[in-house]
Each structure stands twice: as structure tokens, then as C-alpha cells.
Amino acid sequence: MMQTDALVLQARGGDRHAQGKLMQLWYKRIYNFGYKFFFDHDLAMEVAQKTFISMHRNLPHLQEVGRFKSWLYTIAVNNCREELRRKQSRRTVSLGETPGSGPLRIETPHRHENPEHQLRQTELSDLLQQCLLELSEEQRTVVIMKEYEGFKFREIAEALNISENTAKSRLYYGLDGLKKILEQKNLTKESFGYEN
């Protein structure tokens, strides 16, 4: 984070090279957040692009350098919500269309694993991602931020402008909802390769 803080200070002062470095440092994380949110490569790219355009425009107004991470994710979450509203307003998706044509996966199988195991892990990863899409937008956002992005509850609360208790509640109900969805699909810990 110290590298980010220094870059934010430079970028806030108009240093374009520092802004480019910030984008390089954070692009993959913001893209992955959007991908997990939508399970769609194009929407994730759109969210990432809009997030960094907004970052470029608004960085001079960021007061606290230490809040950059939560500030950036606030922008990303707002862009995800905007895309979700846009997507829902034009519900003319063909019945044959399937979500998730993007190249990234939640988990990348290890190279030493056999191809059959790799395929199974990829299928389970995609299935878990589709289950995640069944959660409410609020719960899905918190689950992604906590479980995949490693945010602390304080950071989630800052980014979403909610209390820490609300963030904890959304995570609890989100994980509980995910568990129920997985049970409905007859998926167990063993399906994902966990013995206990």
C-alpha cells in the first residue's frame, strides 16, 4: 500500500505517469471484481474502464490518500450497479445466451493436477460463480469484497457507505444464501474437493 500511497500523491498533483502506474497496479483487481459481480468479460471490461476514467477525473479531489482503495472500489461498485440497472432495463437477452463467456475463472487449477481434475475444478468454479449471481446485489457485493478481495469490514463499510454491522449482516446472509443455493443444487464440500 505504501507504493500506492506515493503514486496517489504524485497522481493527485497531475503526474500522468503515476496515474498510469496506479491503473497498472489496480486494473486486474477491479476487472476481477467486475467479473465476479457479473460473470461476464465484456461487462467487467466496461466497469474497469469507467472506474479508471472516473479515477483519472476525480483523483485530485481525494482528500485522504489512505482511503484510495475503498474510494476506488466505491467507484467500481457504483459502476457495477449502473451496469446492472442498464442490463435489467433492456431485458432482451436471448434464451440461448449463457453468462460467463469471459476468460477468467475464480480459481486457476494447478499445473501439476491431472486434466480431468482441472476440468472438474473449472466446472465447479463456474457453477459457484453462477450461484453467486443468484444472491441479491447487496449481498453479492459484500461476499465478493470480503471473500475474494480480502477487504476488512471497515473497508467494506467505507466503500459502500454502510455501517460495519450492516456489512457483517450482508456477509452472513449472503454466505447463508449461497449455502442454501448450493444445497438446492446438491453440491457439497466434497464436490469442491474438501474432505472435512
* pLDDT computed for residue 117 by the predictor: 64
Q: What is the pLDDT of residue 125?
A: 74
Topology match between the domains 1-90 and 115-196: no
Residue 86, pLDDT score: 86
Cell numbers linked to 70: 475503498
Q: How far apart are CA 75 and CA 54, in angstroms?
A: 7
Class of domain 115-196: mainly alpha
Domain boundaries, the chain: 1-90, 115-196
Three-state DSSP at 14 gives coil
pTM score of the predicted model = 0.74
DSSP-assigned states of every residue in 56-112: HHHGGG---GGGHHHHHHHHHHHHHHHHHHHHHHT----TT--S--SS--SSPPPTT
Q: List the chain residues with pLDDT less than 50.
A: 92-111, 196
- The reported pLDDT for the residue numbered 120 is 66
pLDDT at 91: 58
Over residues 91-126, the pLDDT tens digits come to 544 333 334 433 333 344 444 556 776 666 677 777
Cell match 475503498: residue?
A: 70
Domain 1-90, CATH number (from 1.10.1740.10, 3.40.50.2300, 1.20.58.220, 3.40.930.10): 1.10.1740.10
pLDDT at res. 162: 96
Are the C-beta atoms of residues 69 and 4 closer than 8 Å to each other? yes
